[in-house]
Amino acid sequence: MVIRDAEARDVAAILAIYKAARIEGEDGFGVEEAAAHLESFRAYPNYKVFVVTIEGEVLATYALLIMNNLAKRGRPSGIVEDVGVMPGHQGKGIGRAMIAHAMERCRMAGCYKLALSSNLRRTEAHEFYEGLGFERHGYSFVVPVGPPEIP
């Protein structure tokens, strides 16, 4: 198992994972548009999309943002987003490896915390995260600020 930075060649597999994991619906990016968007992330050196490969096949992905803060004496914090593992490969330690990877990157960056949010309906995901040492902390609030999403 290899965890590495996502590249343009991985975009089709990432989009397939998003669809299978219900992170993204049919209205998401096409491959070319997503590849261009991924390239734009180079302007944000502390925001990365990672993929997990086994024998060269992309089977999982997650995104990690490490952001600087003025509070907490300037210590950065990490946020994990868009965690997805292809359904046929769940339960094999891939998700655990991705979160361990994120935690290590955060430790190396001096982060004081690593946070993530999960939809209330995803009770299995909540159990998974709690099993990795995450604790429920406060509430997550969301407000739409752009055009409405297409159902």
Q: Report if residue 149 sits inside a domain.
A: no
Q: Report if residue 102 sits inside a domain.
A: yes
Decide if pLDDT at 150 tops 80.
Answer: no
- pLDDT by residue (tens digit) across 23-44? 877 777 888 888 888 888 888 9
Q: What does the DSSP 8-state code read for residue 150?
A: P
Per-residue pLDDT, 133: 92
Q: Report if residue 16 sits inside a domain.
A: yes
**The pair of three-digit structure tokens given for residue 36, joined into one six-digit string:** 């261009």
- pLDDT by residue (tens digit) across 65-88? 999 999 988 899 999 999 999 999
Is residue 112 helix, strand or coil?
A: coil
Q: Report if residue 29 sits inside a domain.
A: yes
Residue 147 pLDDT class (50, 70, 90 cuts): confident
Total of domains in the chain: 1
Instruction: Identify the domain containing residue 106 by its residue range.
Output: 2-131
Q: Report if residue 122 sits inside a domain.
A: yes
Residue 137 pLDDT class (50, 70, 90 cuts): confident
Is residue 6 helix, strand or coil?
A: coil
CA distance 46 to 67: 7
Q: Report if residue 147 sits inside a domain.
A: no
- Mean model confidence pLDDT for the chain: 90
Q: Report if residue 86 sits inside a domain.
A: yes
Q: At 13, which CATH number?
A: 3.40.630.30
